[in-house]
């Protein structure tokens, strides 16, 4: 077995993976393995991920070998039908290999976790608030197409239409690993449906992504540093939610981080969910410092405008969505707004891995 699997572009080190898998298997067979359940679960998740990666490689190699043999036999017999079948099989193997290569890029500390996604409208009133709601729909559709679960945790309606802000929890395998590439300011250019003169408008909205952390990651928060406010829910949720102060907002005063939850009928449940969100936000802030992957949290919360945009969505005078970090673009604007975001996420992931590798080489030199 080649230690550097060709399907994963050098990301998956087979020999090291096999050694680590054997270590974890031996540990899991010890009688005292489950004495510490949290640690055991973390190790089992690592073992299962390695096992899935190794199984995927073996399956791809087997299918590739079978496809090549089928193609050789088809050519030898000049069987056009068999040749077409072999080509179709090879195309499927190539598609699976590309997907496996992308999955291998999700190797960050919290990439496998669920993700909170927060939306905030920029200046521009109704137009920006409508754009913010369009982004909420876009990411919800992306998640739904992957079979992920989406929970709306908080939403503040717009003055006339759209939303001023919203927070969702996306639950699924590697949700944070994929969505982390989407953090930043998104710019829309279109003929405004709210302008009676049919003029072209430019609108901005920000997307902020942070991982839902498990109980094995300890985040210390001094309760004296957190201000708690309760208020009436403004979103859906039934009469009880709208008539009582069940919604909870937490403000971490040292950092200025604010989180809110209004999805539950019970103030107690909303408070617990908000604390989970706050821990996740503080954890993400620490990840950013270590990985140098983004600006400080305060920078993300300010200047929702030209300076921090990551992608432009132009609907008039032409149709184009372009990622300003990677250069990836498409004229299928409706497809993108309906959740077809994989090409942008894949390019951003590859750029992150490439950048990290270049930095490591530079540090060594």
* The pLDDT of residue 304: 57
Q: What is the mean pLDDT of residues 230-245?
A: 59
- Same-domain pairing of 310 and 334: yes
Residue 361 located in a structural domain: no
Q: Which residues does residue 120 pair with via DSSP β-bridges, in sequence order?
A: 165, 206
Q: Is 84 in the same domain as 128?
A: no
**Domain membership of residue 277 as a residue range:** 115-356
Tokens of 202: 């430019």
The verdict on 20 and 137 lying in the same domain is: no
Same domain, residue pair 238 and 303: yes
- Do the Cβ atoms of 270 and 264 come closer than 8 Å? yes
Q: Which helix (H) or strand (E) holds 71?
A: helix 37-77
Given 104, 128, 159, the domain boundary residue is: 104
For residues 183 and 209, the answer to whether their CB atoms sit within 8 Å is yes
Tell whether 100 and 207 lie within a shared domain: no
Asked if 124 contacts 201 with a C-beta cutoff of 8 angstroms, the reply is: yes
End-to-end CA distance of the chain: 31
Residue 110 lies in a domain: no
Interacting residues of 305 by C-beta distance below 8 A, sequence separation 6+: 122, 123, 185, 204
Question: Does 228 lie in the same domain as 119?
Answer: yes
Same domain, yes or no: 99 and 120? no
Q: Which residues contact 80 (CB under 8 A, 6 or more apart)?
A: none
pLDDT in tens, 169-180: 999 988 999 999
Residue 105 φ then ψ, to 5°: -75, -15
Entry pTM: 0.67
Question: Is 1 part of any domain?
Answer: no
Tens of pLDDT, residue by residue over 295-340, are 444 444 445 555 578 999 999 889 999 999 999 999 999 999 999 9
Is the same domain home to 123 and 90? no
42 shares its domain with 66? yes
Last residue of a domain, one of 78, 104, 130: 104
């Amino acid at each position: 077995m080649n230690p550097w699997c060709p399907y994963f572009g050098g990301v998956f080190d087979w020999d090291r993976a096999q050694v680590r898998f054997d270590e974890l298997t031996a540990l899991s067979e010890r009688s005292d393995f489950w004495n510490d359940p949290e640690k055991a679960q973390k190790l089992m998740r690592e073992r299962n991920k390695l096992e899935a990666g190794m199984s995927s490689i073996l399956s791809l190699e087997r299918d590739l070998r079978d496809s090549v043999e089928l193609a050789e036999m088809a050519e030898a017999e000049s069987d056009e039908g068999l040749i077409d079948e072999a080509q179709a099989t090879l195309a499927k193997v190539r598609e699976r290999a590309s997907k496996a290569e992308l999955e291998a890029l999700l190797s960050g500390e919290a990439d496998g976790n669920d993700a909170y996604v927060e939306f905030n409208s920029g200046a521009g009133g109704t137009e920006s608030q409508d754009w913010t709601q369009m982004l909420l729909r876009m990411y919800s559709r992306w998640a739904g197409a992957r079979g992920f679960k989406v929970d709306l945790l908080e939403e503040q309606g717009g003055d006339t239409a759209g939303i001023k802000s919203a927070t969702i929890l996306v639950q699924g395998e590697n949700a944070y690993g994929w969505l982390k590439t989407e953090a930043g300011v998104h710019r829309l250019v279109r003929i405004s449906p709210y302008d009676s003169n049919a003029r072209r408008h430019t609108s901005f909205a920000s997307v902020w992504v942070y991982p839902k952390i498990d109980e094995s990651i300890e985040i210390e928060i001094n309760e004296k540093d957190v201000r708690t406010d309760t208020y009436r829910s403004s979103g859906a949720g039934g009469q009880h939610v709208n008539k009582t102060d069940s919604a909870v907002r937490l403000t971490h005063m040292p950092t200025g981080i604010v989180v809110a939850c209004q999805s539950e009928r019970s103030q107690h449940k909303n408070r617990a969910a908000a604390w989970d969100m706050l821990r996740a936000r503080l954890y993400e802030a620490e990840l950013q410092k270590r990985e140098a992957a983004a600006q400080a949290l305060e920078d993300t919360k300010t200047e929702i405008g030209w300076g921090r945009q990551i992608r432009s969505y132009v609907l008039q005078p032409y149709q184009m969505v372009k990622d300003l970090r990677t250069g990836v673009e498409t004229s299928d604007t409706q497809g993108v707004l309906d959740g077809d975001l994989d090409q942008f996420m894949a390019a951003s992931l590859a750029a992150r891995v490439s950048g990290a590798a270049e930095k490591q080489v530079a540090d060594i030199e």
